Amino acid sequence: MKQVGESVRVLALFVFLANFTAGCANVAAYERGKLAHPTMSPSDASSVARDHVYGVQEGAMGGTEGAASGCGCN
Amino acid sequence: MRTFHNLLVRVVLGVLLAAGGARAQQNPKANSGSDKPQPAEPAPAEKSSSSSSPSDTVVKTKTEFSAYTDTDSVTVFTPAVQASIENPLSGWSANGSYLVDVVSAASVDIVSTASQHWTEVRHAGTLSGTYKPGTVGGTVSGAVSSEPDYLSLSAGGTVNLELANKTANPSLSYAFTHDTAGRTGTPFSVFSQPLARHTITGSLELILDPSTLVSFSADAILESGDQTKPYRFLPLFAPDVAPLIPRGASINEVNARRLPGRIDEHLPGTRNRFAFSGRVAQRLNGSTLILSERLYADDWGLKATTTDLRFVIDVSRRVFLWTHLRGHFQSSISFWKLAYAGNVSTNGPISVPKWRTGDREESALEAGTFGAGMRFDVGTEVQPTGWSIVAQADVLTTLFNDTLFIQNREGFLGVLQLETEF
């Protein structure tokens, strides 16, 4: 039963992503000026110190840009 | 101090230039910071042109100074430098970073065990290289973090694809991390605890329309090894006393009601973590909205949701202001206890819970960040982003629902960055 539940969840995820993919527009290169704006980048306003604070103070991991190591909290 | 950081920037740049200088080629994106339509990029077949010149290579640096302090008597100063060199047309780039964390702590956990206030310095560095000549590319990366009682080494790689005329860009990455935890003043050969971590990440970036980017990523983080903190000792209470210990009980109250002695932390030898996250970035007229969400669960029973929102307003062509909001909510791990109950006698057997921890970041908590920032591009008229100053301030608050000693923590993080691009 647990495996069925996992399969349903995975299937739902694929359907969700497929739905988004189907909604994608074929945007020409000359139309991508807004997409290339610096504020659209994940690295804009990023801070290694802030990432580290969240890494130490939140029990969750993953879903962040880039990789780091060590915690400075041992 | 200034000389020291100039030296750091030069060292990192020197390494990167040495790695990539021989391949310096063209630069079509020296300044992509406007909303004006960008010229069409050449077809991939044209990207390997040998007519590129070294002067077209883009070099970026970022120098960061940050300070963090909170009501639990922890302060951290972090100077950091990052540098990258890239040639977008030929598709190669190299990145490097180095930082120093100076951590000073006299937190309630330290005070409650009658330990001394301590100051520690951590050094961390990363290097990565990317080659993406066409629609397929790859990145290799490595990271080192060292402090007196902890060493972390990691290496990994990523494969990137561009599909449907760059409308859908999936990637798959893997990283292996080997950590060694020890005790300050004791060689790793005498005492050390290894921890291995495998991180597998799949991500997909989609262009929904000319102003909207959406990305998803899924992480599986598989850890094995002893994660017990060698300095962490917990109070133990008699079974009839433990239920009576209130949330946020003071050090004096805990000491008055706990059993003699303390027990060490003890954690399971493996932990499998899973995260699924999504990010939407939309460029509006004169503003940008970025919303991200992460859902997290692991086999220790911790479940979490994290929502992060940033709204950027263009004050002018050179000045950008933003607000930053973040909310993080998590449950506790399955074996979390406010007060662990057990029996300790001098002659009889000792009975304590098998798994136990005092790490309040493993307890149920709610955390919020309220912040603001400003970017001021002070470069030339042709390239305003040639020099940029970024200032950010965040107020962080955490509410602990089921912990000893403290029920909340307020922190402040200030960040000042200087970015260059040439």
Distances (CA, A) of B303 to B274, B295, B306, B363: 10, 8, 10, 11
Ranges A23-37, B131-145, B273-287, B360-374: which has the least confidence:
A23-37
Asked if the Cβ–Cβ distance from A72 to B122 is below 8 Å, we say yes
Q: Would B47 be classed as within a structural domain?
A: no
Facing B207 at nearest CB: one of A25, A39, A52: A25
Q: Would B43 be classed as within a structural domain?
A: no
Report residue A6's pLDDT band, with 50, 70 and 90 as the boundaries: low
Q: What is the count of residue pairs from A and B with beta carbons less than 8 Å apart?
A: 222
In chain A, residues with a C-beta closer than 8 Å to the C-beta of B68 are: 49, 53
Q: Would B189 be classed as within a structural domain?
A: yes
Predicted pLDDT of residue B401: 94
d(CA A64, nearest CA chain B) in Å: 9
Distances (CA, A) of B102 to B65, B74, B78, B243: 12, 11, 6, 39
Q: Would B38 be classed as within a structural domain?
A: no
> At residue B350, what are phi and psi to the nearest 5 degrees?
-100, 130
> At residue B129, what are phi and psi to the nearest 5 degrees?
-140, 140
Secondary structure in 3-state letters for B131-193: ECCCCEEEEEEEEEEEECCEEEEEEEEEEEECECCCCEEEEEEEEEEEEEECCCCCCCCCCCE
Average pLDDT of the residues in A14-34: 72
Helix (H) or strand (E) holding A22: helix A2-22
Predicted pLDDT of residue B43: 37
Q: Would B254 be classed as within a structural domain?
A: yes
Q: Would B256 be classed as within a structural domain?
A: yes
Facing A67 at nearest CB: one of B143, B179, B209: B143
Q: What torsion do the CA atoms of B344, B349, B353, B354 make, to the nearest 10 degrees?
A: 140
Other Cβ atoms within 10 Å of B22 Cβ, number: 8
In chain B, residues with a C-beta closer than 8 Å to the C-beta of A26 are: 164-165, 167
pTM for the full model? 0.84
Asked if the Cβ–Cβ distance from B288 to A59 is below 8 Å, we say no
Nearest C-alpha in A relative to B283:
A34
Report residue B287's pLDDT band, with 50, 70 and 90 as the boundaries: very high
Q: Which domain holds residue B223?
A: 2-30+53-421
The string of pLDDT tens digits covering residues B27-71 is 333 333 344 444 433 333 334 444 455 567 999 999 999 999 999
Predicted pLDDT of residue A26: 80
B391: CATH: 2.40.160
The string of pLDDT tens digits covering residues B338-354 is 999 988 777 766 788 99
How many independent structural domains does chain B possess?
1
Other Cβ atoms within 10 Å of B64 Cβ, number: 23
Facing B37 at nearest CB: one of A33, A57, A61: A33
Question: Domain residue spans in chain A?
Answer: 2-57
User: DSSP state, A29?
Assistant: G
| Residue B269 CB burial class (10 angstroms; 0-12, 13-18, ≥19) | exposed
Tokens of B51: 């007519």
With a cut of 50, say whether residue B20 has pLDDT above it: no
